[in-house]
Chains A and B, each alone.
Chain A
Amino acid sequence: MKFADFVSTEAIQADLVAEDKDGVIREMVQSLLDAGGVQEEEFESIIKAILKREELGSTGIGRGVAVPHTKHPSVDRLVGTVAVSREGVDFQSLDGEKVHLFFLLISPPDRPGDHLRALENISRQLRNDTFCRFLKQSKSADDIRQLLEEADNNQFGA
């Protein structure tokens, strides 16, 4: 599964304002809402679901990356977005480092396969240091969009 299959390009954010875990998740779901990826009346319920998954164990997988995700009945297909925080956010990561790169995923509960393939794609791509470094350095949503596209075309050798 490619980034293009689930990342809502209008929702990408190159400079997150939020400084804490809850704030980042809110900001990212808000941008998905603005981009039409999720419904307004489901906003709080989606945030709650993502935070519930975080309570199970942080999705901050280390090396400055976090992949908050959940399943939610209000979406009919896998949606996601990408955001970068300049300052970094304390996400209770496994390695204790601040998180700069966020990939947020929401999928319908009856499609676990898509959800898993997306997670697998994200973590495979993020194992590439060049890709991570470029993402962190990106100045605009357009930069990020382009990097995701290049990753989809295997230009980072992943």
Chain B
Amino acid sequence: MLLAVVEMQDTAIFLVMLGFLIGLSAIFSRHIDRLGVPVVLLFLVLGILGGSEGIGGIAFDDYSFAVRVGTIYLVLILVDGGMTTSLAAVRRVLLPAGILATIGVALTAALLALFGRLVGLPWIEAMLLGAIVSSTDAAAVLAVLRGGNLHLKPEVGDTLEVESCMNDPMAVILTVTVIELALAPGEWHWTRLVAIPVQLAIGGATGVGLGLAGKWGVERVRPATIGLYPAVTLAIAFLSFGIATVLGGSGLLSVYVTALVLGSAALPYRAGLKRVHDALAWLSQIGLFLMLGLLVFPSSLPAVAGVGLGAALFLAFVARPLAVAACLLPLRFPPRQIGYIGWIGLRGAVPIILGVFPVLAGVPGAERVFNIVFFIVVVSTLLPGATIRRMTQWLDLARPEMPTPSAVLEINSAHRLTNEIASFFIDSSAAVCGASLSQINLPPASAVMLIVRGQQLVAARGATVLNQGDHVYVFFRPEDQPFIELLFGRRESV
């Protein structure tokens, strides 16, 4: 048979499997969520099955391709993370999240390296292991916190989210530093460590710059079709990563900051844009775990199973909780919150890519480290994922339940709109609960527009009474937002 035909058939079989699994996981995502098993682990299994030692027989060991594609995936995940996080939330938790994302990451890496050395790994491998899995994963944390209908108290939820989006640069820098140390120990000097804050500073500054420039640009360009708006935001994100990296800064931090700035802007077709990036992030995560599955050789796993599981448990029970406590105790975080943040240390996409770095660089023992990383990723995705619900209830860190409305209203426009429409969930404790609309003295130029009540859309008339459980759409000017929130309570993110 012609090679091209064989290739087409292979691709077809791969797509059948992929389509089948993506479809299944989307259909059963609710049930899988309830079990607490992150859906992405299914794709890890698919990757292993599809790999050279599985039934798929796909021989994939192109590490530089893996790094390149993996980095793109990571950028897509961070763009989504940044665009969906409010600047106000970042400002509120910047101090704890920032400390966790830098000192916390370094501490975790150091503790795990110590463990690695104690169980007999050479120093370089132990340090690599520590550095590679030192950061929590943005995609995994966002998926578990937002996807699982888990309503965490903002100080905990925001800290975890912002930390997970900000700590990848530190892990990258640490890993690269250890690789440099491994390859040229003679040339390495501790002064290299000074470069870490410099890289973060350049990354942050480039991120802000590109974000502001992007904001200015997006509001002015008029692409031929609406579908091109996500292309524009993607372009800005890629530029942000690329320029920051070329300038010697952290590309990942730059992308996240750029996305934060863009997300806070009044973007054209904002809701649609966010949905596209949400889907891209989701697919990226699938891609990353598929790739990890393909890159791992199951036959080489048993040899490191003991160390791998040991390291994973040490990370979950000792290293992460200790590092978090050391960072947050001085900030006088309540012990319950420290315990919770310490437990929810989901790892995921980043260690997969970072694990490939030393293999590419030809560091001795790098394959073994990669295999250990596999165990850590699996265990630290499963363990907190499966227990997060019980932990949240047990430590009483959930916000009052806020069900999603059965209908969503959104305004799409290519132009920058001056006023806002927001939806509010009416809790029994909200001031407007039980009041008729005529009793609510709204500021001038504000109005209640529509009420979503169960399966019903209710017109906003003067005699309409707001009931507990309603989702109410309110139109208002930005300057009236504090008063509107005082009356209606929490704004829903739609």
Q: A interface vs B, CB < 8 Å?
A: 49, 52-53, 55-57, 59, 61-62, 67, 69-71, 92, 94, 96, 109-110, 112-113, 115-117, 119-120, 123
Q: Collect the chain B residues with CB atoms within 8 Å of residue A59's CB.
A: 486
Please state if A112 and B431 are interface contacts (CB–CB under 8 Å).
yes
Shortest distance in angstroms between A12's beta carbon and chain B's nearest beta carbon?
Answer: 21
Please state if A57 and B400 are interface contacts (CB–CB under 8 Å).
no
Q: B interface vs A, CB < 8 Å?
A: 88, 91-92, 153-155, 399-400, 427-435, 439-441, 481-483, 485-487, 489-491
Q: Collect the chain B residues with CB atoms within 8 Å of residue A119's CB.
A: 431, 486-487
With the chains together, A57 CA to B430 CA distance in Å? Answer: 10
Partner of B433, one of A49, A92, A112, A123: A112
Please state if A67 and B441 are interface contacts (CB–CB under 8 Å).
no
Known: A55-B399, A69-B431, A70-B429. A94 touches B489 (CB 8 A): no
Please state if A56 and B400 are interface contacts (CB–CB under 8 Å).
yes
The closest CB in chain A to the CB of B151 belongs to A55
Please state if A94 and B88 are interface contacts (CB–CB under 8 Å).
yes
Shortest distance in angstroms between B159's beta carbon and chain A's nearest beta carbon?
Answer: 13
Partner of B400, one of A52, A69, A70, A120: A52
5 A-B pairs closest in CB distance: A112-B435, A61-B482, A57-B490, A53-B429, A56-B489
Question: Max chain B CB contacts within 10 Å: which of A55, A61, A96?
Answer: A55
Please state if A55 and B435 are interface contacts (CB–CB under 8 Å).
no
The closest CB in chain A to the CB of B439 belongs to A113
- Beyond the given pairs A71-B433, A96-B88, 7 more chain A to chain B contacts, judged by CB atoms under 8 angstroms and listed by A's residue number, are A53-B427, A55-B153, A61-B486, A113-B435, A115-B431, A116-B432, A120-B441
Please state if B92 and A123 are interface contacts (CB–CB under 8 Å).
no
With the chains together, A66 CA to B315 CA distance in Å? Answer: 42
Give the A-B pair count, Cβ closer than 8 A: 73
Please state if A96 and B481 are interface contacts (CB–CB under 8 Å).
no
With the chains together, A92 CA to B431 CA distance in Å? Answer: 19
Please state if A49 and B434 are interface contacts (CB–CB under 8 Å).
no
Please state if A53 and B430 are interface contacts (CB–CB under 8 Å).
yes
With the chains together, A109 CA to B88 CA distance in Å? Answer: 32
Please state if A116 and B441 are interface contacts (CB–CB under 8 Å).
yes
With the chains together, A47 CA to B91 CA distance in Å? Answer: 28
Known: A56-B400, A92-B155. A123 touches B486 (CB 8 A): yes
Partner of A94, one of B429, B432, B482, B487: B482
Please state if A92 and B92 are interface contacts (CB–CB under 8 Å).
yes
Q: Collect the chain B residues with CB atoms within 8 Å of residue A49's CB.
A: 429
The closest CB in chain A to the CB of B486 belongs to A61
With the chains together, A112 CA to B488 CA distance in Å? Answer: 12
With the chains together, A110 CA to B91 CA distance in Å? Answer: 38
Known: A61-B482, A61-B485, A94-B482. A55 touches B400 (CB 8 A): yes
Q: List 23 A-B contacts (CB under 8 A).
A: A52-B400, A53-B429, A56-B427, A56-B490, A57-B491, A61-B483, A61-B485, A61-B486, A62-B482, A71-B429, A71-B431, A92-B92, A94-B88, A94-B485, A112-B432, A112-B434, A112-B439, A115-B431, A116-B435, A116-B487, A119-B486, A120-B441, A123-B482
